[in-house]
Structure 1
Amino acid sequence: MKTPGIYLTGIGVHLPPSVDARDAVARGEYDAADHEWYGWTGAAVAGDTPAPDMAVSAAREAFSRAGQPVSDLDLHVHAGFFEQGPEGWSAQHYVLRHLTDRDVPAFSVWQACNGLVGSFDLAASYLLASPQRTAALLTGADNVGTPNYNRWDFGIQNGVLGDAASSVILSKREGFARLLSVTAASTSEVEEQYRGEEPIFPPSLTVGRRMNMKERFASRRGVEETVAEVVRRQGELRTHIALQALAEADIDVSEVTRVTHVFTGQESYLKVILDPIGIDVERGLLEFGRPLGHLTVNDQVVGLNHLVATGQVGPGDHVLLIAHGGGVSLSCAVVRIEYRPAWAR
């Protein structure tokens, strides 16, 4: 979808300190062989800071940088992968309450690790649907450091998770970057691989059953065969929607300056994502992401913030955001940098 007249006016992140992966190995939390193989050097750890509080922090930074009044806000969308707080409680309204007293709609989006980039499509469509609407706030946050979960052993490939929050303001007011296009799709037939043999009812969280993705994958045809099937199907569709997003942005793949993507410690994993699109890994963020871990919904926006803040992209440069979540949900967005904002080095 082309997104005429939609800009990024603000962007913000909350990124906790990184814990060295070697320390996790020494504590017995991270398998030494996995550390050697997967290439992660650390993970961002938020301690006992709740995910919604991190989202508030990121959103405040986004509004501060935007210089745009909160009164412009017409929509809030919040994304996360893990539980945000008490069951039956709406984290999105907690975030909104700490930012404004305006009675704008706030929605929670669950698209696994595609939640935040996937929200670009929803928010842009919402703004374009009415001339009276001006701005949408997107937030994403996760703290995976719960007592019954080991961030160093997610159970499937690329499995070290970090904590973070990030935020973007999409607006019809001119901003430091322009959103040129967004695309989204689903490989719904892959949901059974992520479900495994677990019963749908009662939900595992309600009976204290721990999430074990490796066990679920193994319940089908074995972990390696199942992962290969998911990667193949996901890769085909991801390549298609990435090229579609570039075509709708009226640019060629050669005009993509940088790419933000799911963080990984392995160059080979990143090549699987980028090679079919025709983009080399040097345009990605391999080294930046290695000490942070996979930040669930936040990798792409944290990466974009890093590129702009450090001056690695500037006016006229194009950034491709590629996201996938749970093997099932995929989104891409193309952003063009309009000018270097005051907060960038």
Structure 2
Amino acid sequence: MSTYVPDGTDGDGRPRHLCGPSEEMASVHDLVERAGAQLDPGLLGAAAESLAASFHCGTLYQGEHFWPIQNSIQQTVLGRASGGAATEIRQFCSGGLYGVMLADALLEAGWAGDYAMVTGGDSFFYFDRHEYATSPATEGSLMGDSAFCVVMNRHRGFARVLSSAARSHNPSAGMMRSRTDHGQDDPVFPTLSDWIARWEGYEHRRPGAVADNAMASFQLAVETVVECYRRAGLEPEEIDHFAPSFIEPSYVTETLAKQVALRTPAGLRPFGARFGHLTVSDFCVNLSYLMNNRIVKVGDLVLLFAAGNFVNSAAMLVRIEEEATLPFNVAM
């Protein structure tokens, strides 16, 4: 597993791209390529020879590609013109974990090939990230640019997936739509003011529905996490670490941890806050922090969680099988 954020930090250790002009931002494809280049070439070569499938996930706009982005990424990272099935996932910020879930499931199901690859990333140049984060309407996270590349093997790895769970709260997705009849949205990419107008319009048409959806989707996230560890036959006190995405406001994930009776490692959130909310890459940052700082030990159970605007929630329980240093271009 490899994670990449754009080079360069300021005096506080924050990536320069959080304050840089949009025209200087790298594309998603470039970021994923840099993440893949940090992996062992021998591993990539083995994966290319026996690839079952690859998945790519992003949150919204994927830059210079219209369709199909994953075929191009697969060829670039693996260096082969042909590989396993290439699929793109759109699940907002939970897409990274969705991709790993699907990759693990198809390997367990016995698809031809011993490897699967998952990539993801985002380049937030389509509206001002600071305006988004400070808007009272969005209560949003400061979005950061990033990419990741995960190569999974059917037989071994530094961590093993024990269980997973995912749920969606469809009415919450309805708040983001430009149409009220569930028809095809306006293909023009929305500005931040467009997003806000959609939410406010939804609340105007259905007074109190936004708050109701927020509570319902949060409860669904709680149920997703609980289902994940119970599916593995475990109780919350048996889970060593809970690693949720860096969702703002911070009390949201803090409340989630309390509701599911799990513990978040000290120092994890301050570390992640340096980069902003890395959307689909957050779970990779979390695991890199835990592994590279030797916070986890062999045999530990780590429960990862990601939410796509709390429309989609994903939870995955992994057991650490061996010590590993995970490629991340930022010093721990």
Using the size of structure 2 for normalisation, the TM-score is 0.83
Stretches of structure 2 lacking an aligned partner (at least 5 in a row): none
Q: Is 1:294 matched with 2:277? A: yes
User: 1:170, 1:323 → 2: CA distance?
Assistant: 19
The match for 2:165 among 176, 183, 189 is: 183
- Residue 69 of structure 1: aligned partner: 46
Q: Find 2:229's aligned residue among 226, 238, 246.
A: 246
Aligned pair 1:133/2:123, yes or no?
A: no
1:112 counterpart residue number: 92
Q: 1: distance between equivalents of 2:45 and 2:319?
A: 20
Please show how residues 131-280 of structure 1 align to structure 2 within 5 Å: 132-146=112-126, 149-154=127-132, 155=135, 156-195=138-177, 203-206=185-188, 209-211=190-192, 212-221=194-203, 225=208, 227-264=210-247, 266-280=249-263
For structure 1, the 5+ residue unaligned runs are: 1-10, 25-40
Query: Partners in 1 of 2:224 and 2:267 — Cα distance?
Result: 18
In the alignment, the residues of structure 2 paired with residue 18 and residue 295 of structure 1 have an alpha-carbon distance, to the nearest angstrom, of 16
Letter of the 1:111 counterpart:
Q
Amino acid at match of 1:192: G
Q: Deviations over 1:246-277 (max 9, x none)?
A: 12223321122222222145442221221110
How high is the sequence identity, in percent, across the aligned residues? 23
- Give the Cα separation in 2 of the matches to 1:74 and 1:44: 40
Looking at structure 2, the residues matched to 283 and 256 of structure 1 have their Cα atoms a distance apart, in angstroms, of 15
Aligned match of 2:288: 305
TM-score (norm 1): 0.80
- Aligned residues of 2:172 and 2:214 also touching (Cα < 8 A): no
Describe the shift of the 1:89–1:321 C-alpha distance in structure 2 as closer, same or farther (beyond 3 A). same
Deviation per residue, 1:103-136 (Å, 9 max, x gap): 3211110001111111122222222222633111
Return the alpha-carbon distance in structure 2 between the equivalents of residues 83 and 108 of structure 1.
12
- Across the aligned residues of Structure 1 and Structure 2, the Cα RMSD in angstroms comes to 3.2
Question: Which whole-Å CA distance do the structure 2 matches of 1:341 and 1:78 have between them?
Answer: 24
Per the TM alignment, residue 343 of structure 1 is displaced from its structure 2 partner at its CA by: 5.4
**Alpha carbons of structure 1 residues 121 and 257: separation in structure 2 relative to 1, 3 Å:** same
Structure 2 residue corresponding to 1:330, chosen from 289, 313, 324: 313
Q: Does 1:48 align with 2:25?
A: yes
Cα distance in 1 for partners of 2:180, 2:208 equals 19
Match of 1:14 in 2: 4
**Matching residue's letter, 2:75:** R
Structure 1 contact 76–138 (Cα < 8 Å) conserved: yes
Following the alignment from structure 1 to structure 2, what is the Cα–Cα distance between the partners of residues 284 and 204?
42
SS of residue paired to 1:221: helix
Which SS does the other structure have where 1:13 is aligned?
strand
Q: For each residue in 1:202-253, what CA deviation from the matched residue of structure 2 results, as whole angstroms up to 9, or x when unmatched?
A: 74443x6424432221112269955533331122111112111112223321
